């Protein structure tokens, strides 16, 4: 049964990584209120909730009540299985391949949709007052000009920022974390690397980053393929370079 468990876990991980969470309707689950007053109760609920979220992403491909019965049978013991244990791995492998194909197709369609919407948005956005388009296609608008130094592409900077999708969905924010972020400009997406080098310390800019200067076709954990990203960035400071570590001289061999 160890192999079976690995297959099940791989399916759940694959589903979680392959698609964004969707706002979905109830799948027949009741709204029973629980008393979660112990660590065991809370942990049990969280395990079930996470499993429900993962399976909810492929709800069209599974039957909720049958999944629930399978869970009950598996929880009770192998002798309760209604499908032979020898047959299960083959069934799950076929299921995983089907889900993989479905997710790839969904991702392809989402990428095409995002690309068309992104191109249309950037075309119209470029016409708006105050929006500047660089040679690479990056668009930006100065909200507040700074008075400090301008960072180089290899500098480490400290910034406050907020990132949203075209529909206004916020996917990241240093403000929500309650502290600014620091990073090297040559270790972030190209749109950031180029854009922040246009700013002086103290400046606030709004950036409209085309997909090819962001995460492109692959997207990321909570950003779909070919998504245009909008960032509000405040450049707080350019951090001093870290002191070089002194190389330790090799010890001389002892002489007699």
Long-range contacts: 162-169, Cβ < 8 Å, 24+?
Answer: 162/231, 162/232, 163/229, 163/230, 163/231, 164/229, 164/230, 164/231, 165/223, 165/224, 165/227, 165/228, 165/229, 165/230, 166/117, 166/118, 166/121, 166/227, 166/228, 166/230
248 occurs within a structural domain:
no
**Angle separating helix axes 88-125 and 2-18, nearest 10 degrees:** 10
Instruction: Give yes or no: 171 in active site.
Output: yes
Annotated active-site residue 172? The verdict is yes
**215 labelled catalytic:** yes
Catalytic residue among 8, 95, 102, 172: 172
Phi and psi angles of residue 173, each rounded to the nearest 5 degrees, phi first: -160, 120
Together in a domain, 135 and 75: no
105 and 143: one domain? no
Q: Is residue 166 part of a domain?
A: yes
**Of 58, 207, 215, 230, catalytic:** 215
**Which domain-ending residue is among 60, 76, 109?**
109
Eight-class DSSP state of 186: G
Has residue 157 been placed in a domain? Answer: yes
pLDDT reading at 41 higher than 80:
yes
Give the per-residue pLDDT at 251: 60
Mean pLDDT of the residues in the chain: 84
Q: Are residues 105 and 161 in the same domain?
A: no
pLDDT at 80: 87
What pLDDT does 221 receive? 79
CATH number, position 199: 3.10.50.40
Containing domain of residue 203, as a range?
A: 130-239
pTM of the complete model beyond 0.75 = no
Residues 60, 160, single domain; the answer is: no
172, burial (CB in 10 Å: exposed 0-12, middle 13-18, buried 19+):
middle
Return the SS3 of 34.
coil
Q: How many domains does the chain have?
A: 2
User: One of 64, 183, 189, 232 is an active-site residue; which one?
Assistant: 189
The verdict on residue 80 lying in a domain is yes
pLDDT tops 70 at residue 10: no
Q: 85 and 12 in one domain?
A: yes
């Amino acid at each position: 049964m160890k192999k079976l468990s690995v297959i099940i876990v791989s399916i759940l991980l694959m589903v979680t990584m392959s698609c964004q969470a969707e706002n979905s309707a109830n799948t027949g689950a009741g709204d029973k209120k629980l008393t979660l007053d112990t660590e065991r109760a809370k942990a049990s609920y969280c395990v079930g909730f996470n499993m429900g979220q993962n399976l909810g992403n492929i709800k069209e491909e599974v039957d909720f009540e049958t999944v629930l019965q399978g869970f009950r049978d598996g929880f009770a013991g192998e002798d309760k299985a209604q499908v032979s244990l020898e047959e299960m791995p083959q069934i799950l492998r076929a299921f995983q391949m089907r889900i993989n194909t479905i997710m790839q197709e969904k991702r392809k369609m989402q990428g095409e949709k995002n690309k068309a919407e992104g191109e249309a948005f950037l075309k119209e956005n470029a016409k708006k007052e105050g929006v500047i388009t660089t040679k690479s296609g990056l668009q930006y608008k100065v909200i507040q000009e700074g008075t400090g130094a301008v960072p180089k592409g290899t500098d480490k900077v400290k910034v406050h920022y907020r990132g949203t999708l075209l529909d206004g969905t916020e996917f990241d924010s240093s403000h929500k974390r309650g502290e600014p972020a620091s990073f090297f400009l040559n270790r972030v997406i190209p749109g950031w690397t180029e854009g922040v080098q246009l700013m002086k310390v103290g400046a606030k800019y709004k950036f409209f980053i085309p997909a090819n200067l962001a995460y492109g076709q692959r997207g990321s954990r909570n950003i779909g393929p070919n998504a245009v990203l909008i960032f509000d960035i405040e450049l707080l400071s350019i951090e001093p370079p870290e002191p070089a570590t002194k190389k330790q001289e090799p010890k001389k061999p002892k002489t007699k």
